[in-house]
Amino acid sequence: MSGEKRRLRVAAAQLGPVQIKDERASVVRRMVALLEGAARSGCELVVFPELALTTFFPRYYYENLADVDVFFERAMPNETTLPLFDRAKELGVGFYLGYAELADEGNGVKRYNTSILVDRSGHIVGKYRKIHLPGFAEYRPGKLNQLEKRYFEVGNLGFPVWRTMGGVAGMCICNDRRWPETYRVMGLQGVELLLIGYNTASVNHAADEPAHLRMFHNHLTMQAGAYQNGTWVVASAKAGKEDGHGLIGGSCIIAPTGEIVARTYTEEDDLAIADCDLALCDYIKSTVFDFVRHRRIEHYRLITERTAAIAPD
Ligand code: ING
């Protein structure tokens, strides 16, 4: 690693809304345009959102899972996404892509909320399957629904990291970014570049809360995760009104110091670009969050042994 370039220009490639009637091919054309814009600005890596190819379908109730399978990909790349993979390889740009994965790995058909990391040579370096599935498995009539627990299995790949793009990269998806464990498990593997796609409703399905908290919590959790683990975070939203349902933007690039160094201010197809000097991770990881000097794991057992909080009587 010594001497290898540790600085790379990265783009959070935000997508505006994808309507339920929108063809995947039209979304891929938008993504290729974003990729080309990022490449023109010298970017070597582009992060697209969670479930980038379709509308955020977990907001809808489908009695039969067969009816939701139209939103899933059975292979990646496939005929529809190949133009994105081909153009990225031509331009020498790596990318993170979030999509709904229909997998049959010998133990029956499984559905995952998935992301892949593709390097600058077009090689799929790694895959991640979303672990923290928010919302409910059952439909709640008359309420805002978030049915990821109904449509997706909990991810079965853990929180892996890969040595690529001149550093150590990892991925997570949307609700994962709200849980400190997500960052810490990758932090304990030396992550320096944590890539996130998200679709976050403008109105919280779980609580009636002031609107300003949507963006506040979005950035708060990622800034904390970046700083407490000395990693860059690149996060890309699908944003805007999808068939009347609002999604927040706020795509951003966060330094290991926890500072937002670039962000979008629209809810459309947009790019936030920054130079990520991975060496900036080193001072955080070797001072305030020098894990080996400061962590006391003999006191942390509850974190993995207890799921629900138990308060004293
Ligand atoms: N979306 C939302 C997110 O975590 C959510 C769900 C919103 C949970 C607000 C709690 C509060 O950003 C996805 N897709 O996880």
Domain count, the chain: 1
Question: d(Cα 296, Cα 113) in Å, to the nearest integer?
Answer: 34
Cβ of 70 below 6 Å from ligand 1: no
Cβ of 58 below 6 Å from ligand 1: no
Question: d(Cα 63, Cα 66) in Å, to the nearest integer?
Answer: 9
Q: Which residues are catalytic?
A: 50, 130, 174
Question: Which residue out of 113, 176, 198, 200 has the highest number of ligand 1 atoms within 8 Å of its CB and is therefore the one to mutate?
Answer: 200
Q: Is residue 310 part of a domain?
A: no
Q: Is residue 2 part of a domain?
A: no
Structure tokens at 36: 């080309």
DSSP string for 168-231: EEEEEEGGGGG-HHHHHHHHTTT-SEEEEEE--BSS-SS----THHHHHHHHHHHHHHHHHHT-
Residue-wise pLDDT for 124-169, tens only, equals 999 999 999 999 999 999 888 999 999 999 999 999 999 999 999 9
Query: Three-state DSSP class for 95?
Result: strand
Question: d(Cα 112, Cα 235) in Å, to the nearest integer?
Answer: 20
- Domain harbouring 257, CATH code: 3.60.110.10
Q: Is residue 165 part of a domain?
A: yes
Which amino acid residue places its CA nearest to atom 1 of ligand 1?
A: 200
Give residue 204's pLDDT band: very low, low, confident or very high (50, 70, 90): confident
Residue-wise pLDDT for 81-127, tens only, equals 999 999 999 999 999 999 999 999 999 999 999 999 999 999 999 99
Q: Is residue 106 part of a domain?
A: yes
Question: d(Cα 102, Cα 117) in Å, to the nearest integer?
Answer: 18
C-beta separation of 113 from 158 below 8 A: no
Q: Is residue 224 part of a domain?
A: yes
254's enclosing H/E stretch is strand 252-254
Q: Is residue 278 part of a domain?
A: yes
What mean pLDDT comes out for the span 229-253? Answer: 98
User: Does 3 score more than 70 pLDDT?
Assistant: no
Question: d(Cα 280, Cα 272) in Å, to the nearest integer?
Answer: 19
Residue-wise pLDDT for 5-24, tens only, equals 699 999 999 999 999 999 99
Q: Is residue 312 part of a domain?
A: no
Q: Which domain holds residue 297?
A: 7-305
What mean pLDDT comes out for the span 17-35? Answer: 98
Q: Is residue 311 part of a domain?
A: no
198 alpha carbon – ligand 1 mean position (Å): 8
Question: d(Cα 305, Cα 299) in Å, to the nearest integer?
Answer: 12
Cβ of 204 below 6 Å from ligand 1: yes
Give the amino acid at 33: A
CA distances from 306 to 135, 292, 302 (A): 21, 24, 5
pLDDT at residue 4, as a whole number: 62
